[in-house]
Structures are given as structure tokens and as C-alpha cells.
Structure 1
């Protein structure tokens, strides 16, 4: 089974928060094989385990067990991408939660949300499964807080749940948690999630426009992909992700997906591809994009595309595009 992926949007605000806590976000991201430049591409998929590992490392390095809650403060509804448009127009809180559950695969494959209703109470259970044994405290707190923020967005700032629960233990200082949720907190609980009055979920969405609702759903249908990403798609995305780290090998890609290298070869062969062909094609696409822009020097680009020297990059680029990187950039800016 392929390991779950998550969108880079899960790390919205990470750079700014880390720097405010005197952390080196670039070094931390690279330590878990994430490309800092990728944060600009919020819809890019990366291993959910890498995101979870980064959050745990950041919390430990900063000495802030409330790191995920601080990160959630920097999120907006738009962090959920196209899904946010439909969530904004749902008629009530229950519909918004159910839509979130239905399309949770669009933003984080490791996130599992379940809604149950009994005895006048509604329980939203939230579970994070990265596909490998590892701490997920920060990822869980980020997911619970983001779900809480969605409900506040729909119901208004005066709304409060009955309780907020976490399976992990209470931190030594839970001031941020109490301030964030403003309700009784239950740690070492049976599940992580939110308990609310069922009647609250029936409350109308204060921002919803019934006229826009059908348009929002139509838009979501055009961009949603209920099917899981194919192995070939994941290989392409991981190659683009791993190239700048200097660790783009078929073995590394296979480990990130959760299969062996022969499985990667087999799936690519079904599409008439080889790993080398995908690597070369992706490298050419990145080179075109980076050379056309002016953000990176040619030396930086050669390093990010895993060339041993700038001259070898220049020779390769000329073979691919018929001119030197300098000529290409000059022509693009002219």
C-alpha cells in the first residue's frame, strides 16, 4: 500500500512561525527531505510522514509543545484550496463537516475524520495515520484546531464546543490550548476530536449564499479527484520534490511511496515510462521554469537539479534546449 500524502498547504505559515521562534526552517525542512521552495506550491503533494516529522522536530527544537496550535493561527479557510469555496457556501455546520469528510482526500490522505451523533451530542473524531509508526501529536493538534476553526468560521466567534479531546497527554503548560478552545479540555482521552451539541450543527452557515451554493458545488466537481493518485503520478511529484535535495533515487522514491523499486518500475512500465525518463522530463521542466525566472543563480539551479558542477548543467541544458541557460534567460526576459 502506498504511503499517504499531504498538500504543502498543511505547512502554511511554517516559515514565519519558525523564524519567530528562532528556528531555522530551511534546515529543519531539509532534514526531513522537504524542499522549502515547495511551500510556494501549496497544491504539491508530499509524504504526510515528512510533514508530521517536521512538526514534531520543530516543536522539540523550539521547546513549544503548542507549536501546531500556533501554526493553526496562521491558517485561513483558503488553506483547504478549492474545497474552501464550497465549505463557505454550505447551508449549515453539519453539511460543512460532512463535505470536509467527503473530500478530505483532497488535502491530506493521512487525515481521517468521522462524525457520529447520539443523545443530543455530535462527536467529530480525528485520526492521523502517516502509514508508519511515529509520533503524530503535533499533526493531530493541527487537524483538530483546523476543524475547530472551520466550525467557528461557519457558526461565529461566539460558538464553543462542549469539549475538545486529545488521545495524548496534557502538556506541562496548556495555556495556549485553553486560550485557543476556551472550553474544557480532555487529555489521555479515548479519541482526539471535538464534541458539540447536535443542535449547533443545525445552525445556518452565517456566510452562506444560497444562490452561490450550486455554483460552488459545480466548481468543486470540476477540480475534485475522488480517485487516489496513481503510482505514476506520485513518482512524478516525488521526483520533482526530491531533485533539489540531492536524494532523488528510485530507492528513495519507492520508500516515500511505501513500495519496493520493482513495483515502481512495473507501474511506470504500464504507462510506457522508465524512472530515468521521468527523471529527465521532470528535470527539464524544472530547468525551464527556474532559468526563465530570475530567483535563482545558475549555480543554485545546477545544485538544485543535482548536477555535479555548473558547467555540466550548462552542457546538459544546451543539449535539451539548443542554447545556454544565459541565452535562454536573456531571450525569456526580452
Structure 2
């Protein structure tokens, strides 16, 4: 399956884009992302779309340091719920172990590995998108975020032994030197950061030992099962693809990198079908859109991928017991009258 990442990976994307003179909304739409969803940091989207957006943003703006400019604005909180746990770990070793162990909670494509040898600790960073994609900007963003995390734990005067990138140096490396210091190297054999192993045992001054157990329990409660993760992936893709008119189980399967039978099997494991998921998403969106008069009923039918307004009205009546125009005129809160009927395309 294609790997997903949280929209939080694009925190500050609008501000950085505008600072270098490019249109963030146009570029996001160009890779299939909706700018309005930036307000939903915990929503999952294809990780490869983020990587492509960063590459196009760097190329369009002429700033090869675009990924680093994003990293400059990152904070620990950008990791979402995981940040609450990491900040309570007793030392850097435990914090990095937690970050690496639960990397799929914020970016399923990210691969981080740590090794310790000859007095040096090395954290290597890579990506697995499920398809070919350029990763220079995504890599610099990820390495930059890791560097900021290390400084949060070790202090602003801390310096790494080496910051490594496999790609060639930019035409102007001033941002890199300012961000990482003089230890940055390009055309190296791996991407990542090398630092003294003794740093791993540095106590975490932010930690409260009494909160650590509660933080771990909170993290455990957020760990989804594989079935739930697959169901959530399908739900997110259905919502993403509905307005395009391409929301089919075949398209969902292609987006996940599997065949349609695999999608059906995973949904069945979660006691769902593709039709039930599609109908559920349509119901949620219809409740919002019909109550908002900025959308005409014809527009809503199109956005929910119905072939005609009459098909939408027929589905709506079966779901809510009245036509959308009758409900809009009454202003009474919507409530489904029965279990969802099979959606009509």
C-alpha cells in the first residue's frame, strides 16, 4: 500500500511559500491536495504527495533550501500526540527510541534507524513511498526536524559531529550552514545526523517523572489496530476522491497499491463494505453541506459524486426521510432515519 502522512507535515507551508513568492494553493492542488485541509493536521494523506509538493515548491521558487525553511519553523508539538510522550522521556536515548518506534504515528513513509559504535551515535533517515519520487526536500525537512529535536534536548549550543546528505550541495549553502553549522556534508553515503554517543544519556530537563506513566498510557490508547488503520485509509481516500468523480473501489485500491479484493477483505475484517464506507462519508458531508447555503443542491450532488441531482435527492430522502430542499427550508437538525441504504451513483 502507499504510505500516508499527517497533514501536520505541512505546518507553516503557506507562510514559507508566501515568503518566497509562490502560490501555495495552486501548488497543492497540482499534487491533488486541498489547501482547506491544512486546518486538519491529523488528517492522513499520501506521503508521496507531500514529497512532490515540496520538490515543486523548491523548483518554482528557485529556493533549494525550501525544506529547511519549513524545518526552521518546526516545534516538538508538530509530532502531534506523540510529542506529549517524548517530552516526558527521561533522557535523549529514550526519547529517540520512542520517536523511532512510533514513527508511523506521524509519517508511515519515514524510516529512522539509530546505531551506536565507537563512541558515536548515528541516526539515519530515509523514505519508502511505495513509488518513485524525488526526496531532497523531504529529506532536508526530516533531518532539520531531527536536528531541532536534538537541540531541544541538548541545548542551543549543542553541535552534531556531522550532518549528512546523499544529494549534491545547493548552489548556495548559506541556509544549511546557518541551520546545521559547519559540520554539514553533501554527497555522503547516507542521510542523517552523527553525534557523540554520550549525548544519549543527557537527562531530559523537560520531563516530569510523575507524568511519564500517564503519557505512555495515553500513547498506548492511540495505537490503532491494522484493521482500523486500513479502514481509516479508505475513509480518507473516499472523502478525498468524491469531488473528483473518481471515487471507486478500483481507484481506492490503486491509491493504496493493492487490488480491489484486498480492499474488500480489509473492510470485511472491520465489519464494513466499500458501499457502507461510501454511504457513511456521503452522509457526514451531506449533513454539513445541506446546512450551508453557500452550496446549491446541484453543487452538493456533484461534490458527493452523484450522477444527477435527482439521484442525490432520492438517496437523501432514503437516508433522512425528506428531500434536501425540504430539510433546508425547515432548518431542523438532520438525523438518519434508518441504516444506510446502498448509495446510488
Q: TM-score, normalised by structure 2?
A: 0.86
Paired with 1:21 and 1:307, the residues of 2 have a C-alpha distance of: 40
Equivalent positions of 1:92-241 (< 5 A) are 92-225=91-224, 227=226, 230-241=229-240
**1:89 correspondence with 2:76:** no
The 3 A distance-change label for structure 1 pair 212 and 269 is closer
**1:60 correspondence with 2:59:** yes
5+ residue gaps, structure 2: 335-345
Contact 2:160 2:183 in 1 (8 A): no
**1:297 correspondence with 2:284:** no
Q: What's 2:26 paired with?
A: 27
Q: What's 1:73 paired with?
A: 72
The 3 A distance-change label for structure 1 pair 99 and 292 is farther
Paired with 1:170 and 1:65, the residues of 2 have a C-alpha distance of: 9
Q: Which has the bigger relative contact order, CA under 8 A and spacing at least 6? A: 1
Paired with 1:276 and 1:233, the residues of 2 have a C-alpha distance of: 15
Contact 1:30 1:245 in 2 (8 A): no
By how many angstroms is 1:224 displaced?
A: 2.3
Paired with 1:163 and 1:125, the residues of 2 have a C-alpha distance of: 12
**1:277 correspondence with 2:276:** yes
Larger Cα-atom Rg: 2
String of CA shifts for 1:159-210, please: whole Å, max 9, x gaps.
1211100111111111111111123111111110001111112111121112
Paired with 2:228 and 2:190, the residues of 1 have a C-alpha distance of: 29
Secondary structure of the corresponding residue to residue 116 of structure 2 = strand
By how many angstroms is 1:297 displaced?
A: 3.4
Contact 1:160 1:183 in 2 (8 A): no
Contact 2:227 2:266 in 1 (8 A): no
Q: What's 2:328 paired with?
A: 327
Q: What's 2:5 paired with?
A: 6
Secondary structure of the corresponding residue to residue 64 of structure 2 = coil
Q: TM-score, normalised by structure 1?
A: 0.89
String of CA shifts for 1:214-238, please: whole Å, max 9, x gaps.
2211211111237475533321221
Paired with 2:270 and 2:50, the residues of 1 have a C-alpha distance of: 29
Contact 2:124 2:190 in 1 (8 A): yes
Paired with 1:312 and 1:179, the residues of 2 have a C-alpha distance of: 59
C-alpha RMSD over aligned residues: 2.6
The 3 A distance-change label for structure 1 pair 332 and 181 is farther
Contact 1:162 1:183 in 2 (8 A): no
Contact 2:228 2:270 in 1 (8 A): no
By how many angstroms is 1:72 displaced?
A: 1.7
